[in-house]
A and B are shown apart, each in its own frame.
Chain A
Amino acid sequence: GENVEQHPSTLSVQEGDSAVIKCTYSDSASNYFPWYKQELGKGPQLIIDIRSNVGEKKDQRIAVTLNKTAKHFSLHITETQPEDSAVYFCAASKGGYQKVTFGIGTKLQVIP
C-alpha cells in the first residue's frame, strides 16, 4: 500500500519567515495530494491540494509543489503568522473512492 513520509516532525519559525514541509510517497499511482491543517481538539481542515497533472499551485501565502518523477511534494508557507501554528499533514490518494494516506504530521510553531 501507499506510504507517505513527512519531515520535519517539528518546525519553529519566527513570525514573518517562511516554513517548508516536505513529503515523499511510494505509490506511483497516487495522483491527488491534499494538505491538511489540524488545530488542537479539531479535525483536519483542507488548506490546499494538488493533482498530478500540475507541478505547482499557489493560494495567497500557501504554495505546494509536486515532483512526480521523484515522488515528493512540498508545502511552502510565506510570511508566517502566529495563527499558522498547528499540525500540518500531507497526504496522498489514488483517487477513485479517495482512500487517503496521511503523513505523520509536522507541528509548526510560529514565534511572535
Chain B
Amino acid sequence: GAGVSQSPRYKVAKRGQDVALRCDPISGHVSLFWYQQALGQGPEFLTYFQNEAQLDKSGLPSDRFFAERPEGSVSTLKIQRTQQEDSAVYLCASSTHEGQETQYFGPGTRLLVL
C-alpha cells in the first residue's frame, strides 16, 4: 500500500514568509509525528498526535511553529515568519498505535529560507 507522503517536497521561502507543510500518513495509522532534520544531523522530535489530539508539542522550537491534525488523518505543520535557522528537512512519520511499533517515515520536505 501507499506509504507516508509529504508535500511539497521542496520549499523556498523568503525570510518572514509563512509556510505550510503537509503530511498524509499511512491510512489507518493513529499516531503521527513531526521531526526536524538539520543538515548532517539526526531527526529531532517536534510534536506528536494521537488521532486528532496533539499530545506532545514539547519539541516545537518556538511559538512560530504550529501543527494540526483536525480529522485525525492529514496533518499540517505551519511555520510563521520563517527565519533562516528554520531551514531543514521536515519529516513526518506515522505508526499504527501507541506502543512499541515501527514509525514509517515520509520522504520529507526540504525547506530553505533565504
Contact = CB atoms under 8 A, between A and B. Distances in A.
A106 B50 CA distance: 31
Interface stretch (B13-21, B61-69, B100-108): B100-108
Contacts, number: 67
Nearest to B48: A97
B55 A98 contact: no
B4 interface: yes
Contacts of B111: none
| Interface size class of chain A, counting residues whose CB lies under 8 Å from the partner chain | 20 to 34
Nearest to B9: A41
Contacts of A6: 42
Interface string A42-65: 111110010100000000000000
Contact of A98 (B91, B101, B106): B101
B82 interface: no
B29 to A, nearest CB: 12
B42 A43 contact: no
Contact of B103 (A41, A98, A105): A98
Nearest to B99: A95
Interface in A15-32: 31-32
B71 interface: no
Given A97-B31, A99-B56, A46 B102 contact: yes
A103 B40 CA distance: 11
Interface of A: 4, 6, 31-32, 34, 36, 41-46, 49, 51, 89, 91, 93, 95-105
16 contacts: A32-B100, A43-B106, A46-B103, A51-B100, A89-B43, A95-B99, A95-B100, A97-B48, A97-B55, A97-B98, A98-B98, A99-B33, A100-B43, A102-B42, A102-B43, A102-B44
